[in-house]
Structure 1
């Protein structure tokens, strides 16, 4: 449940110069998630994709309250609502989330791109993919915790001395106006490559046998 909205954000010197747009895209990103799950399991035929009702995840992405979620807004409850006859041992759910850009108070929403800086010569652009993986037990519908999933790979990535080239984006590819993102083929392929990297780094730890 990650793939039909793309965040285009621009950050200025003050909060009043910040701009954010949520652009609809048809980049088949949910298909990409399933393809990476199949690849991580060696194309295991018992792994299957489950369709879900339109807007069923709306309570999760737009909860009524921020601090304490209503039980009906939690992923296990939502997944239970449309998998009564699925009979799966586990359900793996991919969602997006909001995250703060390190060393700033700027929030990056889901999957997208941002442009930051002062003046045309000092501005720089980047991609981001905030993707969360949740594993749910198919019988109890309790979340299966993986607290140290792929710790080594993520630690190594965090200790990188140079910027991850997958995140860096040439200013010429930053969509202006934001709506241009939906038809920007280069931006789509760069974003897909970043998502593949993030998924391939995290999925093995969630798919391992207990």
Structure 2
């Protein structure tokens, strides 16, 4: 038995150091895994928040010119017959981005002048465009009060407002309003016109009083006379095929849409520059 015990004791003698060396091994990996965990603190999120601040400050910062585009996208389809009984008038809701086009042209004409588009609630201009009958209506005062409400705390130095306006068909007492297409006559003795009546009004950003337009100056009056008083500048003759068979068809008529957008661009590019040359 003594001979058997000696090898066993010797074997245990050699196994004990090995066990002592391998026992700390399980604690080593957690210590090594914890080391790379320290850099994974989500610090890159801070630069993102700091980048967002300038955008907010720009939106809420000083405003030189606030732009309110208020043609509101109705398109008029109108027929003028040989007698009043042949007249037809319809306002067709369209989604042609006409107010977006207005703002784009104002921005192009403004050059380096910083501008900001001022949003307004749907229907804000309904009472202005369709007022209750009154013998003593003051449109200037109505517009001034309306823009004061829309502008709120925008704090712009001035406001440029583009609205639908009104004129008369040359040689008649027939009113034409806003943007539309007109068909006049019967059969071969007939013609069609696009028309674009838009007005630009500038209001003081503090008092909301309407400023004098550039056309009121002597230079503006002389230019108006040289242009023949602008009797035809609001009209563009088009082929009769562009006139929709039914007024409701106008909304889906891409050729009509493209033509009125092109004509509106032409009108805006002519009337807007003087307002930014003052």
- Give the structure-2-normalised TM-score: 0.68
Match of 2:78 in 1: 9
| Matched residue count | 205
Q: Any idea what the Cα deviations from partners look like across 1:18-67, whole Å, max 9, x if unmatched?
A: 111110001101011111111111254x2010100111112211222344
- Which of 167, 177, 181 is the aligned partner of 1:109? 177
Q: 1:108 and 1:71 mapped to 2: Cα distance?
A: 18
Mapping of residues 4-83 of structure 1, within 5 Å: 4-42=73-111, 44=113, 46-69=114-137, 74-83=142-151
Pairwise CA RMSD? 2.3
Q: 1:199 and 1:65 mapped to 2: Cα distance?
A: 31
Q: Any idea what the Cα deviations from partners look like across 1:63-86, whole Å, max 9, x if unmatched?
A: 223442268971110011121210
- Give the structure-1-normalised TM-score: 0.88
Q: Any idea what the Cα deviations from partners look like across 1:98-121, whole Å, max 9, x if unmatched?
A: 321111122212110000012x21
Higher relative contact order (CA 8 A, sep 6+): 1
SS of alignment partner, residue 135 of structure 1: strand
Alignment partner of 1:137 is 2:204: yes
Structure 1 alignment gaps of length 5 or more: none
Deviates more, 1:163-172 or 1:142-151: 163-172
**What's the offset of the Cα at 1:144?**
0.4
| Change beyond 3 A, Cα 1:151–1:191 | farther
- Which of 187, 191, 204 is the aligned partner of 2:273? 204
